[in-house]
Amino acid sequence: MSAGPGRFAALKALFWPRQGERLVPAVSAVLLALSYPPLHLLVPPFVGLVPFALWIHGLAPDADGRRAAVRGSIVFGAIHFGIVFYWILIALIWFTPLAILAFLAALFGLIGIASLFGWILFRAVHGVRAPLWIALPVAWVAGEWTRAHLPSTIAFPWLDLGTSLTGFPELVGIAELVGSRGVSFWIALVNGLLAVLVLRVRERKRWVRQAAVAALAVTLPMAWGIWRAGTLPVREAGTVTVVQPNIPEHIKLDARAGLDSTYASLVRLWPGLVGAGADLVVLPEVVLRIFPQAEIHRGFIEPLVTWSRFARAPILLGGLGYEGDLTGAYTPYNSAFVVDSMGVWDYRYDKRYLVPFVERVPLIPSRWFGTLQYFGGFGVGEGWPLARVGDTAYGVLICYESSYPEGARHFRLEGADVLLNITNDAWYGREPLYARTTALWQHPAHMVMRAIENRMGVARSANTGISLFVDPVGRVQSRTYLFEANLLTDTVLTTDILTFYTRYGDLVGSGAAAAALLLVVASASLARRGRSLDPSRHEA
Pairing of strands 392-398, 343-350: unpaired
Beta carbons within 10 angstroms of residue 80's beta carbon: 23
Mean pLDDT score of the chain, rounded to an integer? 91
Q: Is 539 among the domain residues?
A: no
Contact, 249 vs 426, CB < 8 A? Answer: yes
Residues 121 and 254 in one domain: no
Identify the band that residue 11 occupies on the pLDDT scale cut at 50, 70 and 90: low
Provide the domain limits for residue 262.
Answer: 235-496
Q: Is 448 among the domain residues?
A: yes
Q: Is the pLDDT of residue 538 over 50?
A: no
Q: How far apart are CA 255 and CA 379, in angstroms?
A: 21
Q: Which of 267, 165, 274 is nearest to 225 (CA)?
A: 165
Residues 521 and 404 in one domain: no
| Number of domains forming the structure of the chain | 2
CATH number at residue 329: 3.60.110.10
Q: How far is CA 468 from CA 74, 264, 464, in A?
A: 37, 23, 12
What's the confidence (pLDDT) of residue 434? Answer: 87
Residues 125 and 274 in one domain: no
Q: Is 501 among the domain residues?
A: no
Q: Is the pLDDT of residue 94 over 90?
A: no
Contact, 259 vs 290, CB < 8 A? Answer: yes
Q: Is the pLDDT of residue 373 over 60?
A: no
Residues 58 and 84 in one domain: yes
User: Tens digit of pLDDT for each residue in 501-531?
Assistant: 999 999 999 999 999 999 999 888 877 776 6
Residues 183 and 127 in one domain: yes
Arithmetic mean of pLDDT, 316-323: 95
Residues 27 and 67 in one domain: yes
Residues 250 and 197 in one domain: no
Arithmetic mean of pLDDT, 260-277: 89
Q: Is the pLDDT of residue 134 over 80?
A: yes
Identify the band that residue 360 occupies on the pLDDT scale cut at 50, 70 and 90: confident
Q: How far apart are CA 110 and CA 113, in angstroms?
A: 5
DSSP 451-506: HHHHT-EEEEEESSS--EEE-TTS-EEEEPPTT--EEEEEEEEE-----HHHHH--
Q: Is 144 among the domain residues?
A: yes
Residues 262 and 178 in one domain: no
Residue type (1 letter), 29: A
Residues 20 and 112 in one domain: yes
Arithmetic mean of pLDDT, 365-393: 78
Arithmetic mean of pLDDT, 398-416: 97
Residues 38 and 178 in one domain: yes
User: Tens digit of pLDDT for each residue in 443-467?
Assistant: 999 999 999 999 999 999 999 999 9
Q: Is the pLDDT of residue 247 over 80?
A: yes
Arithmetic mean of pLDDT, 179-194: 98
Residues 413 and 442 in one domain: yes
What's the confidence (pLDDT) of residue 34? Answer: 93
20: left (phi over 0), alpha (psi -120 to 50) or beta: left
Q: Is 285 among the domain residues?
A: yes
Where are the extended beta strands (E) located within 249-402? 280-282, 315-324, 330-340, 343-350, 387-389, 392-398
Q: How far apart are CA 449 and CA 309, in angstroms?
A: 35
Q: Is 513 among the domain residues?
A: yes
DSSP 12-31: HHHHSPPTTSSHHHHHHHHH
Q: Is 352 among the domain residues?
A: yes
Q: Is 261 among the domain residues?
A: yes
Residues 178 and 124 in one domain: yes
Helix (H) or strand (E) holding 239: strand 235-244
